[in-house]
Structure 1
Amino acid sequence: MDGGALALWNKWATQILVVLSFSLQVVLLLLAGIRRREANPVLRLLLWLAYQLADSTAIYTIGHLSLISSTAVEHQLVAFWAPFLLLHLGGPDNITAYALEDNQLWLRHLLTLVVQVLGAAYVLYKHIAFAGSGDMLLVAAVLVFVVGSIKYGERTWALWCANFSSIDSSLKKHPRDKLGPFYPEPDVSEGLELNDEFLLYRAHSQFHVCKRGIVDSVIELEPGESRDDRIIVDLEHRHMWTMIEMELSLMYDILYTKAVVISTWFGYCVRVFSPLAIAAAFLLFQFNGSKDGYNRIDVAITYTLLGGALLLEASSLLDAVGSSWALTFLSGTRWAWLRHEALCYGRWYQLHRAVVSLHRFVGFTSSSSYIKSRRWSGTMGQYNMLHFCCRDEESTSYYRPLLGRLAKLLGYQEWWRKKHYSGAVVISAVLKKVLFRSLHGLFVQQNEVNTMGILRKKWGQQALEKWGLHDILRSELGVELHEGIIVWHLATDILLARINEDSKREDKDLVEVIRVLSNYMMFLLVRRPYLLPGLAQNWLYQQTCNNLEKIWHDNKSSPISSHGFARINELFHLYDSPDSSALPQIEMLAMILFLDEPGYSRERPRLSYSYTIVEVLESKPGKIVNPLVVLLDVWANILVYAANRCSRESHAKKLNSGVELTTIVWLMAEHLHQLSLGQKQGV
């Protein structure tokens, strides 16, 4: 068996590698778009494997071709495949980098580009006559070689353009995109709502704010130039959320695709030249009389490579000219006749709608998925510490036993627990309104930011000062943000557990918003600490969990829990996510914490701080009418602080696996800060 497999590899190694390289390109093209949202882990793994294998497979195959001696005349055609490997190294237009760090390796890609182009040229030179196959095949090989070299160079150029320093430099040369009078009117044929396409155009017109924010650049206005803040003022908060989502999708294009390179004169010329060159190569090969002497499998592979390349390049052309990036390019072109023909007569808009319709047809859906693919999924993570500490170890192995046991075997038990007890909820319209109101108050009305748009005060400080509680609860905000989140998370669960059912029903929306905000900040602390500013303190979280687990196991047989623990434990075996089914158990531990708390304890200071918060809010000092309103303001302030103070690089990194709520809040704050500056300067 081994000898048979080895003999098969020795005879067909080149063919296998070339087909594999082409297959990986198809996988990349089809799956690259899933990174715009939280995708299925299996699909993400498949995409990651394809990205990692694509370059190494093509590079290895070029090296293999340069070393083999084509003594067999019937296999001389394999030399024609070397230029196609350069085309594969260029990759699809919708993916250049898998992670943000890949953009920093552009110099390495440049060196690899030079080596591989020389390698492919050597293969062609070594077999330049193609065993007497004639000039037609040679011309076809040269055409594909030119296209492949250009597309590979484009990818390296795109990686360089995606560096923050390059984005900053481009902002200094071209501070903003101007759509001018070519701004299309909204289509309200389906009602009074602004459609996504119109908001995408507005996102392009305001995209300079996102680019400036991501690289901490400063935009200087030219004399007599307006900030165009009217766009922000005119939008309702729900439409502004959509526009922000679109802007972040455009930033994803810059960081992880070839969008910057494509939307240039050179890029569009390449998109027109490439399918024409591949079509010419296809015809030259078709009418090459000597191809009948080649191996039939080699001929079939060559047709597959030519046909696949033609289809991919034609698709690239349609996507490029029909993309909204083309509108920005046409609006800013110096060729007035082209701008007039394409935009004033509406020809580009007709082409754009045709491309969108084609995407709908190919996707077998009647919805505008092509535009909506730029929309955020609208979900936020959830993680509740009390729910985690109430866990039953046996249930962890009972639920999904294979994955749980495998994680334990590999030493990833803690990671599995955190992931297993995490969940997600859809962000409600009430929460969006609350966050927008908080942002508008901090950045526009009260001007609580410095000239760089950074919040001046500590997390939660502004909210406590608003209610006259800062002097009382100053210490309870914590030394670091991570500590403050843990303290207020525990206090929130305790306070919500102590509110009677009538009050909960009366303030249902308020309770729900507070709960999801509290669980979301804990989700960031546990699962995505890189999206929080300040010093990460995992030990603090671990120590608090240990204390909570000890309290739970010491008291779960107490009178407060004995009457309902059996039924809750049964529920717990069926549900392992922080949803409504876990609330009885969470509230039970919260009540145990409140009744068990002996006062300040050096061993459990976070629990003591939480108890103090609950006592103060329940006593309703000063301006407090409803403690729930105070909790809501504090959590909204903490979230805004975390989004505003988080590193811009962290926001950019998260774009390749779906937009995070903190990134949405950060960019909205950037827009409101620009609005505030415009109002101050009277422009």
Structure 2
Amino acid sequence: MSIFHETGSLHAKAMAQGPLDLWNHWSIQILVLFSLALQVFLFVFARIRQRGTNPLLRILLWLAYMLADSTAIYALGHLSLSRSSKGLDQEQLVAFWAPFLLLHLGGPDSITAYALQDNQLWLRHLQILVVQVLGAGYVLYKRIADNGFFVMLASILMLAVGFVKYVERTWALQRGNMDTIRSSLKNEPHVKHHQFHALDQGFREGAANEEELYVRRAHSMFHVCKRAIVDSWIEKDSENHGGEMLRDIRNEDYKGMWTLMEVELSLLYDILYTKAAVIHTWPGYGIRVVSPLATVASFLLFHFSVKDSHGRVDVAITYTLLSGAFLLEMASLLIALGSCWTYAFLCTTRWSWLRYTALCTGRWDQLRQLVKKFTRRQVGGQARRWSGEMGQYNMLHFCSRHDTVFSPLVGRLAKLWGQNELWNRKHYSGSIQITDELRLWLHRYIERFSRRNKVNTQGMLRTNWGAEALQHYGCFDDFKGYLGVELQEGIIIWHIGTDVFLARSSRSKAYDAAQEQVVKSIRTLSNYMMFLLVERPDMLPGLAQTRLYQQTCQNLVDMWRKSEPSSRSGPTKNFRTMLKELFRIRDDPNTSRLSERDKLAITLYNEKPRYSTDVPRLCYANWVTEALLKREEEKGSVSVLELVLRVWMDFLFYTANRCSRESHAKKLSSGGELTTILWLMADYFHKHTVLNAPEEV
């Protein structure tokens, strides 16, 4: 009996030690394959963040980015410190994997920095580069020097490729640094932009589609965008043809201008977050041509030196690493040659024969189309466009929520973990697609603004938020006390006042189709500005007003609970509805509980809270409502709706204009923001006005 008991104990112990034994015997194999898998994942999905797609995919991408370097560094350290128990031949074969880990540290071309701060840490990456190269060299020196000439030569080839690719990544991080961009612009010759613009005019008929034309035009004006993001001015004397190019852009219709700005920002994304700045140079193209050839040579050298003593698993892993490296490097070469950046490179090269052979004969266009079909990627196509999504958040919607036993399960878990504020921001926000009507109104507003000398020589607005709109309609004195001391205070006051006014006005008047479109745009802009305040405070200039926002929310919640005592338990619901609420992830302000929001707005208007230190913003919001209703009686609904729409466009334009350039650059890594497009558009209009202004006598 004791024998059976002892046998069972040993079996259980062996089972318990199984995973540990697996790791002890196969840790290096697991690490190198995992490192390769991470590289493939980053290569395929790196571009998803440019359009701000599914949050789950973004989290996975972030994890892959963080794990890619950590895994390769840990595996290299493991190789340099541990010794295999499988025999000398297998130990030497495992050492051959060290250069591949160095190659993985170089990363794919589609992602170098995940956040803008990564570019600022390029010196740290340079230090890590030196350490890891020395580590890989040490592993090869200790374990593979006596393994035969072929394997040693293959190792040296892959070590050289890995070293160059890692240097290239560090170089890309350094080139993506804002200070580096600013310094490079001082020495950048302006003439090449004019050459590109002239060539662009000649290739219009040969472009594949209209989108391709906008990509090429964006390249011809990209130096303006780079100067804007680092706040570097275009000298009028040195930019003789700059005014002409800007005038061509200004003559675009609003859709063309929006497209051009979106493509410009996508090119800026490439410079800041990918290897584009170093790929499309002579060294960059040379690396992409040599890397696949060196990988093939290493593959053949290894193939002819494989010994029977090598384990089958290790040989298979080596072939997998070589094949994976070749496929990734070959895809990198094809994508680089078919990129719109290659077109810009060819247009500005001093080798006229190369420009004629590639562009004038149409061969490059044919190659680009083949690459698109082969890779199934629209390089420079719709993927370069902004998603068109505007965030939405409504204070009255949030404050009129029901606290019931059937509140979302995730929300209750977040509250237990102390993340209630994060849950409220995410759960009660939503998104909406910007309409063509709103694009047109914003385009016209910014264009007229730049023509009327409303900005100074630095491109900064001369007036505060909302002031220009109120002055235009001759009612600045009626509202100047309700714009707030800080921008965020003004957003809170006008956001609540707008909702109360629309709720009160819609009860007494029936809007026609055109007015309903204006009302929709007003709500969209109001909710968007509140979304920036709650979810994107770094995109707003001025002092943060978090305490003021929280206090105002609490005042509204208290008012709602006082007027609706049954709101805490909520209305009676059937089981299906309660189950739906239990697992609800989003409570979008544009699609749910609209009647409750309007009911809270009417309650606020009827109660007319008096001014006090506890509820001053609700008082100001009510005064805004009363002033708008009074003006509606005098001027009519159309005039007041246009006034409110213009005020919100003024808020938005001020936000875009005064937001820091660094905040605009940071947001490009997560899909971009409407304010960034408006900022760049306004900058183009302003530069056009200055460069085409008549000379003073």
| TM bin (shorter chain) | over 0.9
Structure 2 letter corresponding to 1:639: L
Determine if the alignment matches structure 1 residue 597 to structure 2 residue 597. no
Name whichever of 49-58 and 612-621 sits farther off.
612-621
Q: Contact conserved, 1:17 with 1:61, CA < 8 A, in 2?
A: yes
Counting only pairs closer than 5 Å after superposition, residues 236-315 of structure 1 correspond to structure 2 as 236-288=253-305, 290-315=306-331
Give the corresponding residue for 1:73. Answer: 88
Give the corresponding residue for 1:148. Answer: 162
Q: Contact conserved, 1:182 with 1:331, CA < 8 A, in 2?
A: yes
Structure 1 residue 213, shift from structure 2 partner? 1.1
Are the structure 2 counterparts of residues 224 and 78 from structure 1 closer, same or farther at C-alpha, using a change threshold of 3 Å? closer
Distance 2:389 2:297 in 1: 48
Name whichever of 83-92 and 225-234 sits farther off.
225-234
Give the corresponding residue for 1:464. Answer: 470
Once superposed, what is the RMSD of the aligned Cα atoms?
Answer: 2.4
Give the corresponding residue for 2:131. Answer: 115
Give the corresponding residue for 2:432. Answer: 425
SS in structure 1 at match of 2:693: helix
Distance 2:272 2:645 in 1: 35
Q: Deviations over 1:17-76 (max 9, x none)?
A: 111111111111112111101222221111111111111111111111112235613412
Among all aligned residue pairs of Structure 1 and Structure 2, give the percentage whose two residues are the same amino acid: 53
Structure 1: gaps spanning 5 or more residues? none
Give the corresponding residue for 1:374. Answer: 384
Are the structure 2 counterparts of residues 614 and 267 from structure 1 closer, same or farther at C-alpha, using a change threshold of 3 Å? same
Counting only pairs closer than 5 Å after superposition, residues 106-185 of structure 1 correspond to structure 2 as 106-130=122-146, 133-174=147-188, 178=193, 179-183=196-200, 185=203
Structure 1 residue 138, shift from structure 2 partner? 1.0
Counting only pairs closer than 5 Å after superposition, residues 46-125 of structure 1 correspond to structure 2 as 46-70=60-84, 72-75=87-90, 76-125=92-141
Give the corresponding residue for 1:234. Answer: 251
Structure 1 letter corresponding to 2:677: I
- 2:352 corresponds to which of 333, 336, 342: 336
Give the corresponding residue for 1:398. Answer: 407
Structure 1 residue 425, shift from structure 2 partner? 0.5
TM-score, structure 1 normalization: 0.93
- 1:416 corresponds to which of 423, 426, 435: 423
Structure 1 residue 188, shift from structure 2 partner? 10
Q: Deviations over 1:538-585 (max 9, x none)?
A: 000000001001111111269xx9xx9889xx8996882102432211
Q: Contact conserved, 1:490 with 1:610, CA < 8 A, in 2?
A: yes
Structure 1 residue 413, shift from structure 2 partner? 1.0
Determine if the alignment matches structure 1 residue 206 to structure 2 residue 221. yes
Structure 2 letter corresponding to 1:530: D
Structure 2 letter corresponding to 1:281: S
Q: Contact conserved, 2:455 with 2:461, CA < 8 A, in 1?
A: yes
Distance 1:89 1:545 in 2: 48
Structure 1 residue 603, shift from structure 2 partner? 2.2
TM-score, structure 2 normalization: 0.91
Give the corresponding residue for 2:529. Answer: 521
Structure 1 residue 484, shift from structure 2 partner? 0.1
Distance 1:432 1:224 in 2: 30
Distance 1:16 1:407 in 2: 35
Give the corresponding residue for 1:453. Answer: 459
Determine if the alignment matches structure 1 residue 549 to structure 2 residue 547. no
Q: Contact conserved, 1:66 with 1:119, CA < 8 A, in 2?
A: yes
SS in structure 1 at match of 2:543: coil
Q: Contact conserved, 2:493 with 2:621, CA < 8 A, in 1?
A: yes
Q: Deviations over 1:647-673 (max 9, x none)?
A: 111111111110111111111111111
Structure 1 residue 231, shift from structure 2 partner? 2.6
Are the structure 2 counterparts of residues 390 and 371 from structure 1 closer, same or farther at C-alpha, using a change threshold of 3 Å? same
Structure 1 letter corresponding to 2:479: L
Give the corresponding residue for 2:670. Answer: 657
Name whichever of 233-242 and 302-311 sits farther off.
233-242
Structure 1 residue 233, shift from structure 2 partner? 2.4
Q: Contact conserved, 1:467 with 1:624, CA < 8 A, in 2?
A: no
Determine if the alignment matches structure 1 residue 435 to structure 2 residue 438. no
Distance 2:400 2:204 in 1: 52
Distance 1:617 1:69 in 2: 79
Give the corresponding residue for 1:473. Answer: 479
Give the corresponding residue for 2:5. Answer: none
Distance 1:351 1:670 in 2: 35
Distance 1:40 1:118 in 2: 40
Distance 1:247 1:664 in 2: 9
Give the corresponding residue for 1:484. Answer: 490
Are the structure 2 counterparts of residues 158 and 188 from structure 1 closer, same or farther at C-alpha, using a change threshold of 3 Å? closer
Give the corresponding residue for 1:666. Answer: 679
Give the corresponding residue for 2:545. Answer: 537
Q: Deviations over 1:282-316 (max 9, x none)?
A: 1111222x433211000000000000000000000
Distance 1:296 1:394 in 2: 61
Q: Contact conserved, 1:186 with 1:195, CA < 8 A, in 2?
A: no
Q: Deviations over 1:463-505 (max 9, x none)?
A: 0111112122111000000000000001100110012365333
Structure 1 residue 189, shift from structure 2 partner? 10
Q: Contact conserved, 2:49 with 2:670, CA < 8 A, in 1?
A: yes
Structure 1 residue 678, shift from structure 2 partner? 2.2
Counting only pairs closer than 5 Å after superposition, residues 492-511 of structure 1 correspond to structure 2 as 492-500=498-506, 502-506=509-513, 507-511=515-519
Structure 1 residue 621, shift from structure 2 partner? 8.4
Structure 1 residue 456, shift from structure 2 partner? 0.9
Structure 1 residue 622, shift from structure 2 partner? 12
Q: Contact conserved, 2:500 with 2:602, CA < 8 A, in 1?
A: yes
What is the number of equivalent residue pairs in this alignment? 662
Distance 1:374 1:258 in 2: 16
Q: Deviations over 1:352-375 (max 9, x none)?
A: 121122233xx6xxxx58611111
Distance 2:61 2:145 in 1: 39
Are the structure 2 counterparts of residues 167 and 251 from structure 1 closer, same or farther at C-alpha, using a change threshold of 3 Å? same
Structure 2 letter corresponding to 1:55: D
Distance 2:572 2:503 in 1: 19
Structure 2 letter corresponding to 1:172: K
Are the structure 2 counterparts of residues 623 and 222 from structure 1 closer, same or farther at C-alpha, using a change threshold of 3 Å? farther
Structure 1 residue 624, shift from structure 2 partner? 4.5
Q: Contact conserved, 1:21 with 1:58, CA < 8 A, in 2?
A: yes
Q: Deviations over 1:193-232 (max 9, x none)?
A: x721111111111111211111111122455721112331
- 1:639 corresponds to which of 652, 675, 679: 652
Structure 2 letter corresponding to 1:358: F
